[in-house]
Structure 1
Amino acid sequence: MSFFSRLFPMPLHSLLLLVVWLMLNTTVSLGHILLGSVLAIVIPLLCAPLRVPQPTIKKPLKAVSYVLIVLKDIVVANVEVALLVVGPMRRIKPGFVAVPLDLTESLPITVLASTVTMTPGTVSAEVSKDNMWLYVHVLDMPENEQEVIDLIKQRYESRVKEIFGC
């Protein structure tokens, strides 16, 4: 490990800290540049041991297409939920479903759970302690809960697996 990488374990974070410090103080005086530089070096050094290694994105273009798919699903789900909520309340059949997970790493599971939560009509309630199940609350549960499981696994989880190379 080189001297530079030991001094700056997170160089982008250090640069960002310095820029934010200067913006917060609305000055670029020598004193603030020096103090901001010291903070930009010391804070990442103190935080570096706390970092948990995360898997990297193996296919960034797949990530872009995933974001576009999720955005489309959010728009469609907003319309569906609005129509459901405006209609008779007896039509709403909420429920919970346990989705078995093929993902094992924390970051991909978090991305999947966040995606489910961002899509109106569903909320990720919990991930089991062994990371084998994602519990999802569904606003309008279909007759066959397997439909919800298949949708989450095929539309989202399979793409997250591709993106992270799991």
Structure 2
Amino acid sequence: MTRWIPSLPQSLSVLLLWLLLVADLTWGQLLLGLGLAIGLPLLSGRLMPQRARFGRHGVLLRLALRVAGDIVLSNIEVARRILGPERALTPGFVWVPLELTNIHGITALASIITLTPGTVSAELSEDQRHLLVHCFNLKDAAATVADIKHRYEAPLKEIFP
């Protein structure tokens, strides 16, 4: 299965997306979709420098729930700060040293940070060892770095060993 279908989720996504786009469930469209579902992952697999390998799958659900909760709480906090006095805001940048070495884990961390209101991933250092994060309200840089490392990077290290 690895040889003909390098990524089953990607192949299923391509097939489903194709069928949704053409909005026609005929044998011809199904065969064309299957051809795309096999061909595109084979071609795109050559572009990826490193395959995503998952470690502990149970941690993924826990991290997803944590991120969802943090997004809701951050939305409330950002709204409260925007409606408050402007002088109370202290935006700033902070470099987060990374222990993650897997590029997929680093990408997931940068995405999580950007999805959480009030923070944006701005840059990844050349050596991929530091991530520059802009914070809407940066009170304590060390506490922010520790929070990112504890809440997001630690679970991602288990998911992407």
- Is the structural similarity TM-score above 0.5? yes
For 1:91 and 1:102, the matched residues in 2 are separated by: 33
The answer on 1:161 being equivalent to 2:161 is no
Answer with 156-165 or 81-90: which moved more.
156-165
**Equivalent residue number for residue 92 of structure 2:** 95
Task: Report if the CA contact (8 A) 2:96-2:131 is conserved.
Answer: yes
Quote how far apart the aligned CAs of 1:76 are. 1.1
User: Alpha carbons of 1:11 and 1:97: their partners in 2 closer, same or farther (altered >3 Å)?
Assistant: closer
**Equivalent residue number for residue 71 of structure 2:** 74
Answer with 25-34 or 97-106: which moved more.
25-34
Quote how far apart the aligned CAs of 1:145 are. 1.3
Structure 2: which amino acid aligns with 1:105? Answer: N
Q: Which has the larger radius of gyration?
A: 1
CA RMSD, 1 decimal: 2.2
Quote how far apart the aligned CAs of 1:53 are. 2.6
Quote how far apart the aligned CAs of 1:41 are. 4.1
Answer with 30-39 or 119-128: which moved more.
30-39
Quote how far apart the aligned CAs of 1:13 are. 4.0
1:63-99 C-alpha deviation (Å, 9 max, x unpaired):
1001111111111111111111100000001000011
Question: TM-score with structure 1 length normalisation?
Answer: 0.83
**Equivalent residue number for residue 32 of structure 1:** 29
Q: Counterpart of 2:96 in 1: which secondary structure?
A: strand
Unaligned runs of 5+ in 1: none
**Equivalent residue number for residue 136 of structure 2:** 139
Task: Report if the CA contact (8 A) 2:102-2:160 is conserved.
Answer: no
For 1:155 and 1:35, the matched residues in 2 are separated by: 43
Quote how far apart the aligned CAs of 1:34 are. 4.0
Quote how far apart the aligned CAs of 1:164 are. 1.9
User: Alpha carbons of 1:39 and 1:80: their partners in 2 closer, same or farther (altered >3 Å)?
Assistant: closer
Question: TM-score with structure 2 length normalisation?
Answer: 0.85
The answer on 1:106 being equivalent to 2:99 is no
For 2:68 and 2:6, the matched residues in 1 are separated by: 34
For 1:8 and 1:36, the matched residues in 2 are separated by: 14
Unaligned runs of 5+ in 2: none
Q: Counterpart of 1:52 in 2: which secondary structure?
A: coil
